[in-house]
Amino acid sequence: MSKELGARIRAARERLHMSQAALAEAIGAGNQSTVAGWERGRTEPDGETLARLAVILKVSTDHLLGIDDGVLSLPADVADLAKDIAGLPPSERAVIEKIVAALKAEDKAKVVPR
């Protein structure tokens, strides 16, 4: 059993402000004790459940398994924003890129009104 997997499940769940019971319901895993067992490292989800967990928790399966520990998991609101931006046409994404570049620049007063 992997306590690291459980810790990653818990961290991702908590980042979304989701209870164990809510995650169990969303995944169809029975009840809260199933999720608690995963998080404590007593049991592990099977491969299909792990894939569903990744979707629900908005992380990759690699992240849950600890394969990409160096990769930052994005907060849900940032991931949602990234999806919105990805859906824009290239010309509009270019505008967003310019805004971000300006925000990162020294003189933010030109971009962000005070």
Name the region of 71 (left: φ>0; alpha: ψ -120 to 50; beta: rest). Answer: beta
13-26 pLDDT tens trace: 998 899 999 999 99
Mind listing the pLDDT tens digit for each residue in 49-93? 999 999 999 888 888 998 865 445 667 777 778 888 878 888 898
Query: Residue 56: what pLDDT?
Result: 93
CA 31 → CA 27, 81, 103, distances in Å? 10, 31, 45
pTM of the model: 0.60
Distances from the Cα of 28 to the Cαs of 25, 31, 62, in angstroms?
Answer: 5, 8, 22
